[in-house]
Every structure is written in C-alpha cells, then in structure tokens.
C-alpha cells in the first residue's frame, strides 16, 4: 500500500505516538512523509524518519501565531490556523498527483483541514483524542481567565469540525477507549505503543517519586504544582527521606522554583527511560485532559507502581488496586504515595500487574493489530466501536 503520512510536526521521541506509528506503517508499506517544520533543527530530525522521501514545508512560528490570530475572526479552530499555511495544501496536492497514494494518513487535529483537499483519495485521521473535550474542561474550570477564555473560543470550533468528520464517515483513530455512553461511529481504538526495554531495578530501592512530562503543557504543570503544594509535605512527613524527581521539557519558572525540600528537577533530559530504573513510585496527578496519559503507560511498562487520578485511570481502562492506585484529593494522594513507598510487597504486586496490562494493550504487537484493523476499514467499510479493546 502507498501511504502519504502528513503531520504538523516532525515525529520524534518527544512525540512518540506519531513516530512509532509512522515506523510501523513504513515497515510494511511504501510511505512518503509530508510535514511542517519550524526551524533547521526540526529539518535535521526529519532526516532520521524511516521513509525514503520526505517533503518539508516551512512553518515559521511568527506566521503560525498570525494565522491563529486571524482564525479568531473566521470561526475555524485556532489549532487549524496554526498549522495551515497555503504551502502545505499546495504540497499535498503535488504529492497526490505525483505519488498517487492509496491513502492519506493525517496526524492529529491540526491537519484535519486537509481532508477535503484529498479529494477522492481515502483518508484516515489519527485524531488521538476528541480534543474539544479538553478545551471544554478549560472553559469551565481553567486555571486562569485567559485559559477559560481560550476554552470558550476553541471548544465549539473544534467540536464542530470533529462532528463534521464523524458525519463524513472519515475513519478516526483514537488512543483511548471511549467512555460508556460516549461512543461515536467510525472510530478505531489504536493505543499508543510502548515497549520499554528498561525496567525498575530489583531489590531495595530509595523512596524516589517520579513525575515525567512536557512542562510546556498546561495540564501537566497544573497537576504537578498542585501535588507539590498540597501533597508533598504530607508525604515527606510520612516518609522523611522521600524525594520527588521531576523530569520534563521546558519547565516554567514556577516549576523551577519548586526545587528544594526533597524536590529535584531534570530539565530537557535527553531520555526519560533511565529515570524509571530507580523510581519507587511514579505519579500522574492530571485533572484535565483527554486520551491516555503516556507517562502512566511508560511507568507501568517499566514496572514502576503508579498513582494517578480517576479521570486518567478511567481513560486508560486500568483499575484501582489492581493495576494502579487512584486518588483525587489531598488525603488520598498522600495515603496512596506514602503507602506504596512503605509497602514494597504491595508495590511489587501492583507493578507486576501494570506491566502485564501494558504488554497486553500497548505493546507494539498489540498496537500493530489495532492499526491493521483501522486500515482495513478503508477497503471493507467495517466499523469498530471506539470503546472496544478495553
């Protein structure tokens, strides 16, 4: 099969879902890549992609922001405006004429403005998640008036476009099973692959609590700051030698100022895997968001017992006390984290169950089958319930 893979960025380790799915497709099909680049560093990253031919379209950040600003007056999503230079549509049409792909694979919401430009060529969209849900959450309880205003603008625009895609029958790949009662037609569960070769070290381990995540992402920062301010001292009171290790890209000043009182920061680490080897507990204190938190899946894959919120656990499909510990308030978080730090046998059981669950649902072998099922719909017209595969 000839596949044109279109992305609003360069798939790389910081965007592992995009990269691994591209690798899976390129291993079995003839794949060309078309993507946007902000600078020369991203252009160099593109040379590492597992494709023979690639077309890169410059997308300077100033131009991206100006298009987003103009989108305010057009009714389209600001995300669409950010990634919609005319040169990208022109390049797509040239690729359609030259390559004549059997299918166009559009990566995330920022590329869905290209669906109509594909004409009669079949399209599949790795939407990852119905992103409008996140902006609806921001609109109702964002951390500031500016964030709430952004949510009120973006949510209905993104929802309208998502609804249109569903109505058009465009196959949509989602990284998380739909919650009961929220299933939508023509959606396919394709989880994010995670095959960590690294495992937590055996034997006694220091009481290190690990947070991994992009620190340019509002929901990560919001959850981490809440945990540090509301829960950390209570955990230290219960386990005095506990340490919190924060590993993330582009930490804002507020996160940098957390250092001290057993808190350490590893900014822009070249790889996150080594940090899991000596972690006693991993945390994902995320209260806003959609899809599956990859930080949780990585920790479980590495055999690190994990604590997260009910929202994240429900989205992933994991159970409290079986695969992870779940907490939603200060007292619950302090008890869950300090309890795992103090009960190695319980932590080991949870870690083993979590690792087994990830292998069954997020291993490359499992995800490859999910991806094949989504692509099969392009020729068979078959539909897969977005909630299947839980």
247 and 329, same domain (yes or no): yes
Q: Is residue 33 part of a domain?
A: yes
Q: Is residue 64 part of a domain?
A: yes
Residue 32: strand, helix, or coil: strand
Q: Is residue 390 part of a domain?
A: no
Q: Is residue 57 part of a domain?
A: yes
166 and 277, same domain (yes or no): no
Q: What is the pLDDT of residues 52-110, one digit of tens each?
A: 899 999 999 899 999 999 999 999 999 999 999 999 999 999 999 999 999 999 999 99
Tell me what the mean pLDDT of segment 154-167 comes to.
95
CA 382 to chain centre: 26
Distance CA 344, CA 134 (A): 36
Distance CA 172, CA 265 (A): 37
What pLDDT is recorded for position 381? 45
Question: Contact, 387 vs 183, CB < 8 A?
Answer: yes
Residue 264: strand, helix, or coil: strand
188 and 256, same domain (yes or no): no
* Overall pTM > 0.75: yes
Q: pLDDT confidence of 380, banded at 50, 70, 90?
A: low
The answer, yes or no, to whether residue 258 has pLDDT greater than 60, is: yes
Q: pLDDT confidence of 387, banded at 50, 70, 90?
A: very low
12 and 77, same domain (yes or no): yes
167 and 246, same domain (yes or no): no
Q: How many domains does the chain have?
A: 2
The CATH number that applies at residue 311 is 3.40.50.2000
5: phi then psi, degrees, rounded to nearest 5? -95, 115
20 and 134, same domain (yes or no): yes
Q: What is the pLDDT of residues 319-365, one digit of tens each?
A: 999 999 999 999 999 999 999 999 999 999 999 999 999 999 999 99
164 and 111, same domain (yes or no): yes
240 and 97, same domain (yes or no): no
What pLDDT is recorded for position 384? 32
Q: What is the pLDDT of residues 280-320, one digit of tens each?
A: 999 999 998 776 788 899 999 999 999 999 999 998 999 99
81 and 150, same domain (yes or no): yes
Q: What is the pLDDT of residues 12-61, one digit of tens each?
A: 877 888 999 999 999 999 999 999 999 999 999 999 999 989 999 999 98
Q: What is the pLDDT of residues 108-143, one digit of tens each?
A: 999 999 999 999 999 999 999 898 988 998 899 888
Distance CA 109, CA 103 (A): 17
Q: Which pair of structure tokens corresponds to residue 174? A: 């989602």
Closest CA to 192 of 36, 1, 367, 41: 367
Show Cβ contacts of residue 354 under 8 Å, excluding neighbours closer than 6 positions. Answer: 299, 300, 303, 305, 306, 318, 323, 324
Distance CA 61, CA 82 (A): 9
Question: Contact, 266 vs 212, CB < 8 A?
Answer: no
What pLDDT is recorded for position 176? 86
């Amino acid at each position: 099969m000839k596949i044109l893979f279109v992305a609003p960025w360069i798939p790389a380790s910081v965007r592992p879902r995009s990269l691994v799915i591209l690798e899976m497709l390129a291993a079995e099909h003839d794949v060309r890549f078309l993507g946007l680049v902000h600078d020369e560093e991203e252009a160099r990253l593109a040379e590492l992609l597992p494709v023979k031919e690639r077309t890169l379209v410059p997308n300077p950040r100033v131009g991206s922001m100006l298009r987003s600003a103009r989108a305010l007056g057009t009714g389209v999503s600001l995300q669409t405006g950010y990634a919609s230079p005319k040169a990208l549509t022109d390049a797509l049409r040239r690729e359609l004429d030259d390559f004549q792909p059997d299918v166009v694979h559009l990566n995330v919401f920022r590329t869905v403005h290209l669906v109509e430009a594909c004409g009669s060529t079949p399209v599949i969209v790795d939407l990852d998640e119905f992103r409008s849900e996140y902006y609806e959450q921001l609109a109702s309880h964002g951390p500031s008036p500016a964030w709430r205003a952004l949510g009120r603008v973006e949510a209905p625009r993104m929802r309208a476009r998502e609804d249109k895609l569903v109505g058009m029958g465009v196959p949509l790949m989602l990284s998380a099973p739909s919650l009961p009662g929220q299933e939508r037609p023509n959606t396919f569960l394709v989880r994010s692959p995670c095959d960590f070769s690294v495992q937590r070290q055996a034997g006694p381990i220091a009481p290190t609590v690990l947070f991994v995540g992009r620190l340019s992402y509002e929901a990560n920062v919001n959850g981490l700051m809440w945990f540090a301010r509301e829960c950390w001292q209570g955990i230290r009171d219960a386990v005095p030698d506990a340490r919190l290790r924060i590993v993330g890209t582009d930490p804002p000043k507020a996160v940098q100022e957390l250092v001290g009182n057993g808190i350490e920061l590893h900014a822009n680490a070249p790889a996150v895997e080594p940090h899991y080897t000596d972690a006693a507990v991993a945390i994902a204190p995320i209260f806003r968001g959609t899809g599956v938190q990859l930080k949780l899946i990585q920790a479980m894959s590495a055999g690190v017992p994990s604590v997260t919120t009910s929202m994240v656990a429900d989205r992933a499909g994991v159970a409290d006390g079986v695969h992870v510990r779940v907490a939603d308030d200060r007292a619950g978080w302090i008890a869950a984290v300090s309890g795992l730090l103090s009960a190695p046998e319980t932590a080991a059981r949870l870690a083993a169950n979590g690792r087994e669950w990830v292998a069954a649902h997020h291993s490359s072998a499992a995800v490859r089958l999910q991806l094949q099922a989504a692509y099969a719909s392009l020729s068979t017209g078959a539909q897969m319930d977005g909630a299947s595969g839980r």
